[in-house]
Amino acid sequence: ARATVGIVGGGPAGLLLARLLHQAGVDCVVLESRDRAYVEQRQRAGILEQGTVDALRSSGAGERLDREGLAHDGIELRWDRRAQRVDFPSLTGGHRVWVYAQTEVVKDLVALQLRDGAPLLFDARVSSVTGAGTDRPVIHYAHGGADHTVVCDYVVGCDGFHGVTRKAVPEGELRTVGRSYPYSWLGILADVAPSNEELVYAHSPRGFALLSMRSPAVSRLYLQVPNGTDPAAWTDERIWDELDARFAVDADWTLARGPITQKSVLPMRSSVTEPMRWGRVLLAGDAAHIVPPAGAKGLNLAASDAIVLARAFGQLARTGSTAGLDAYSDTCLRRVWRAEHFSWFMTTTLHTAPDQPAFDTRLQYSQLDRIAASPHAAAELARNYVGMPVG
């Protein structure tokens, strides 16, 4: 088979890219190793930036988002039994974010793609990409019990952190830098109305906690746990008791409890692979960079890579110019590194490391006090949270 653009991976990056390419008249194919149900139910991110929402709307996937998505104008920070709201519109010139789960974004994009888009194959596992340095890179994959190939003009690796596309680039041409963190998150879904209208990010000597939501009837909560934690070791009661203790403030506030329907543990890491292009192979989303989740940036970075890439392929198709593709890596990496810094900042400001010295805790309090006292400090957080302009 032939395709102008071969896309490895049908997560948010691959699906949005395919949709935007379809609209730009560029033919492509998406190969996804998992089945449709798995991809649509994988519980992950929940916060969309303006740029992500704009792209979903213009791709035709904005209808349910506009109906069911919850616009949020701020977040609450808690530390040392205090609470402070950070207001986004007043600090950022009118920007806000939306609560709309990654599962729903993926369902909307899959439905559109299967209706009138480019081919999207599930259960299609890519084993390798060859010919990155030629003008005809090839994707090798297995589907329906047989081996197949697609010969492409360009291959885009949207295959996540454990993907295979990165390996198409010769040893030594890409550099990966990153770090891990000495804690993980235990994430739960609960059938109970969120106890706060906005997200609550809580610093506590017992460890970080985050209150988020999926709908007016479903809460999504996270709590910091040691690396290697088995979710089964946490009973529902222990989870709620621990969350209660971590969100505690002097003001009158109670955390509503409900049936927990899902529990999972996620490790935390930061990683960037540079450059994001070599020859005719390009990397997008988690395949190129990972952030710890506290800044809510992972999905939004995947979307902005797809937007920049779709523009570049559109330009190539219309004018024959590769200027956009040539600038792709530099354009994205500026935004990626800003998000890497912000995610690291949110993570290290709000978590309590094992055996954390009292001095470090006092530094965290000072930083949080500063955000509460200074509109400049608060605006820096707000601007990063709502997202930097795409491009």
Residue with tokens 């601007």: 383
Asked if 10 is part of the footprint of ligand FAD (rule: CB under 6 A), the reply reads yes
Tokens of 257: 């409890």
Closest residue to ligand DHB using C-beta atoms: 46
213: three-class secondary structure by DSSP? strand
User: Closest CB to ligand DHB among 188 and 281?
Assistant: 188
| Least distance CB 213 / ligand FAD (angstroms) | 12
Q: Provide the annotated active-site residues.
A: 72, 201, 293, 297, 385
Question: How far apart, in Å, are the Cα atoms of 370 and each of 82, 135, 378?
Answer: 13, 53, 8
**Which is nearer to ligand FAD, 111 or 373 (by Cβ)?**
111
Q: How many CB atoms lie within 10 A of CB 317?
A: 16
Query: Which residues, at least 6 apart from 203, have a Cβ–Cβ distance to it below 8 Å?
Result: 77, 78, 79, 80, 349, 350, 351, 352, 364, 365, 368
Q: Rule CB under 6 A: which of 268-297 touch ligand FAD?
A: 285-286, 293, 296-297
∠ CA 243-246-250, nearest 5°, is: 120
Choosing from 7, 126, 168, 296, the residue that interacts with ligand DHB (CB under 6 A) is 296
Which two three-digit tokens encode residue 227?
Answer: 């690396």
Q: Does 106 bind ligand DHB (CB under 6 A)?
A: no
Q: Is 169 in the site for ligand DHB (CB under 6 A)?
A: no
Rounded (10°) angle between helices 323-350 and 375-386: 130
State yes or no: residue 118 binds ligand FAD (CB under 6 A). no
Q: Quick one: which of 7, 8, 45, 61 contacts ligand DHB (CB under 6 A)?
A: 45
- Under rule CB under 6 A, residue 74 binds ligand DHB: no
Q: Which residue in 293, 308, 333, 336 binds ligand DHB (CB under 6 A)?
A: 293
CB of 369 to ligand FAD, least distance (A): 27
Q: Which of 12, 14, 46, 194 binds ligand DHB (CB under 6 A)?
A: 46
If we measure between CA atoms, which residue out of 285, 365, 267, 296 comes closest to residue 332? 285
* 283 SS3 class: strand
Amino acid at 243: L
CB 252 within 8 A of CB 227: no
How many angstroms separate the CA atoms of 236 and 242, rounded? Answer: 10
What is the C-alpha separation between 67 and 60, in angstroms, rounded? 14
Residue 218 binding ligand FAD, by CB under 6 A: no
Q: Is 351 in the site for ligand FAD (CB under 6 A)?
A: no
Distance CA 197, CA 76 (A): 10
The single residue listed with the structure tokens 């009973």 is: 235
108 binds ligand FAD per the rule CB under 6 A: no
String marking each residue 127-166 x if it binds ligand FAD according to CB under 6 A = -------------------------------xxx--xx--
Q: Measured from the CB of residue 102, what is the shortest distance to ligand FAD in angstroms?
A: 6
The answer to whether residue 212 forms part of the interface with ligand DHB (CB under 6 A) is yes
Q: Does 163 bind ligand DHB (CB under 6 A)?
A: no
Binding ligand DHB by CB under 6 A: which of 220, 311, 335, 351? 220
Q: Which helix (H) or strand (E) segment is 131 a member of?
A: none
Which residues in this chain contact ligand FAD in the complex, by CB under 6 A? 8-14, 31-34, 39, 44-45, 102, 125-126, 158-160, 163-164, 266, 285-286, 293, 296-299, 302
Which residues in this chain contact ligand DHB in the complex, by CB under 6 A? 45-47, 199, 212, 220, 293-294, 296
